[in-house]
Structure 1
Amino acid sequence: MASEITYAEVKFKNAPPAAAVEVPPETKKHEDHPQKYPPWLPWLISLLLLLVCIALALALLVVVPLFHSADQPTALQQNFVEWECITTVPQGKERVLRCCPKGWIRFQEKCYYLSDDEMSWDETVRNCTGMGSHLVVINSEAEQVFLTKELQKFPQGINFYIGLTAEAVGKWQWVDQTLLNEKAAFWRRGEPSNVPVEKCVAIHTSPEIHNWNDSRCESHHRICEVAAPSF
């Protein structure tokens, strides 16, 4: 056993020395002369990456929701299949296709539905809302004149609800929660009566522009209104 140990030691001591590892000339050259970059280059790269991240964030927060909302049909679009459209070019803007459901009438950028049946006030509100619209809110004399002319196509003596009611006597408010502007009110002579039982407002089929009347919230025709969607 001692001789085996001696042999092993002799064999180890007589082993040739390990060969030196030669480094390729190109590697030596690279190590001897490392490439240098401007000290401001990492800062520039970081700034560019930051700007790219900001741009992507803005795209996700602004652009994507806009496209998503454009793809979602409104309640009005879900309720109607047939449309009648006109092309308009607002001043300084691109061409726009404005549409109203078939059977509705258009004035400026709004669509109106004048019913040929009667409903109570509550049913009228639900009916307009169910179509994706609301009872008409009259904001100008031009709109009042337009509706008055359209009502002449119906028999005399018919009343049409508009979206004006009184939560309290004499406190008139539109269905969009805006208060009545008395300068843009078109009451008949002697109206409104301002009595507790007459809280709803209807338009008479009268050629006179001042044709509003407060009345009981019973069965009348209705005028629904909605902004004309663009396609």
Structure 2
Amino acid sequence: MNHRGRVSPGTAAPAEERSCSWLNPWVFLVSVLAIKTAFVTICLVQISELVNVTVSYAQYKTLLQNATEWRCVPSGPCDRKESWMCCLKGWKHFQNSCYYLSADKMSWAESERNCTGMGSHLVVINTKAEQEFLFNWAKGVVTNAYETKYYIGLTAYENGQWQWVDLTPYKKAATFWKPGEPNLLFAEKCAAIHIKGNTDTNTYSNWNNILCFTSCYRICELEVKFV
């Protein structure tokens, strides 16, 4: 009786081994999960530190994927929020704008419609630097013509008062009329850059007012896109 009720030391060992073998996988699993959690946390911290550096490049890639006709150049250090400047293909960048010189001629109204159809407008010239850039660019394109005119976004349709297409206030101090221009305002109510051959040195005073139905080249302007 006593012999059958007693548990000998030899019978206790297998039970203990069974208990340990049941616990060990759970301890191992918890350890693995703890290590993986720490690893993921470290990775997330490192990734978050890289986000500010890579966001501009990601936006740049998205822009190229969505509009393959854009051309982008770096505008500054890569850690800046906006570090790429983009213009449409075939347009030229200067300061904060993109410019397009047409290869065909139209009236002033047709020229403005053509520019707005591309999401832009006839150029609005605000500074001497912009005027010089446009003049030198156009002069370099027109190499053989005796004289060439490019429409700009300036008209005197209303009461003979000059007005920019984007409603920028007209300031005489910021204009670049040729000597004696503008004249004949009762008829000639549209402005154009007037270039006399590629040797023309008259950089700052070459605007001319002309009849608005005259067929001329045009300069369109679009704000540069920052990404």
**Class of the TM-score when normalised by the shorter of the 2 chains:** 0.5 to 0.7
1:114 match: 101
Aligned partner letter, 2:191: V
Aligned partner letter, 1:165: T
| CA-based RMSD | 2.5
- The question of 1:150 aligning with 2:137 is answered yes
- Range that drifts further, 142-151 or 176-185: 176-185
Unaligned stretches of 5+ residues in structure 1: 1-69
Aligned with residue 165 of structure 1, among 135, 144, 155: 155
Residue-pair matches, total: 156
| Cα distance in 2, alignment partners of residues 82 and 167 from structure 1 | 35
| Cα distance in 2, alignment partners of residues 166 and 188 from structure 1 | 17
| Cα distance in 1, alignment partners of residues 118 and 158 from structure 2 | 28
Q: For 1:53-202, what aligned pairs fall within 5 Å after superposition?
A: 81-89=68-76, 93-153=80-140, 154=142, 155-168=145-158, 170-202=160-192
Q: Which has the higher contact order (CA 8 A, sep 6+)?
A: 2
How far does the alpha carbon of each residue in 1:30-75 deviate from its partner, in whole angstroms, 9 at most, with x for none?
Answer: xxxxxxxxxxxxxxxxxxxxxxxxxxxxxxxxxxxxxxxx9xx99x
Residue 83 of structure 1: how far off its partner (Å)? 2.4
| Cα distance in 2, alignment partners of residues 123 and 149 from structure 1 | 25
Residue 171 of structure 1: how far off its partner (Å)? 1.1
Aligned partner letter, 2:206: N
2:219 match: 223
Aligned partner letter, 1:101: L
Aligned partner letter, 1:162: I
Residue 85 of structure 1: how far off its partner (Å)? 1.5
- Provide the TM-score with structure 2 as the length reference: 0.63
Aligned partner letter, 2:221: E
Unaligned stretches of 5+ residues in structure 2: 1-58
Structure in which a larger fraction of residues adopt helix: 2
- Provide the TM-score with structure 1 as the length reference: 0.62
Aligned partner letter, 1:207: T
Residue 199 of structure 1: how far off its partner (Å)? 0.5
| Cα distance in 2, alignment partners of residues 156 and 143 from structure 1 | 24
Aligned partner letter, 2:187: V
Aligned partner letter, 1:214: N
2:9 match: none
Change (3 A) 1:85 1:156: farther
| Cα distance in 2, alignment partners of residues 112 and 128 from structure 1 | 10
Secondary structure of 1:187's match? coil
